[in-house]
């Protein structure tokens, strides 16, 4: 049987992204991997049930945003199981505006979706 081992995403601030997923999604993290030759730094975040997210950063990352849509990754969705769990997470994240995350990035329907944290 084939299954996805993990999903990887580049983030601007590796430590803030790790803190965010640990605080709001109860992730656990491994020790940081750092490749001094390339500057690549990564964490693997585990969410239980063999679900893992690798967050990565490197010195030459660019925030360049091309015009229009392009092929590739669009979003990452976490299923919390039920509406009550979504409500608890929204309540837990109510103080996001007072931190370095933006609650304007929060959207929910059947599942709770959140973009990467920004400062």
Range 38-57 average pLDDT: 91
CB neighbour burial string for 18-35, b if at least 16 within 10 angstroms, e if fewer: bbbbeebeebeeeeeeee
Q: Is the model's pTM score more than 0.85?
A: no
Query: What phi and psi values does residue 19 have, to the nearest 5 degrees?
Result: -60, -45
Rounded Cα–Cα distance for residues 11 and 101 (Å): 13
Answer whether residue 119 shows pLDDT above 70: no
**Residue ranges per structural domain of the chain:** 7-59+76-114
**What are the pLDDT digits (tens) for 51-67?**
899 999 998 887 777 77
**Assigned token pair, 92:** 């837990």
Which superfamily does CATH assign the domain made up of 7-59+76-114 to?
2,3-Dihydroxybiphenyl 1,2-Dioxygenase, domain 1 (3.10.180.10)
Q: Are 6 and 54 a contacting pair, CB within 8 Å?
A: yes
| Helices vs strands, H then E, count in the chain | 2, 8
């Amino acid at each position: 049987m084939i299954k996805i081992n993990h999903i990887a995403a580049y983030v601007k601030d590796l430590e803030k992204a790790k803190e965010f997923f640990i605080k709001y999604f109860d992730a656990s993290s491994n020790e940081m991997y750092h490749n001094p030759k390339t500057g690549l730094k990564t964490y693997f975040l585990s969410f239980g049930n063999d679900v893992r997210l690798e967050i990565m950063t490197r010195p030459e990352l660019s925030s360049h945003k091309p015009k229009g849509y392009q092929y590739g990754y669009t979003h990452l969705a976490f299923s919390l199981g039920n509406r009550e769990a979504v409500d608890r997470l929204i309540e837990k994240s109510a103080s996001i505006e007072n931190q370095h995350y933006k609650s304007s990035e929060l959207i929910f329907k059947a599942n709770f979706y959140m973009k990467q944290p920004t400062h």
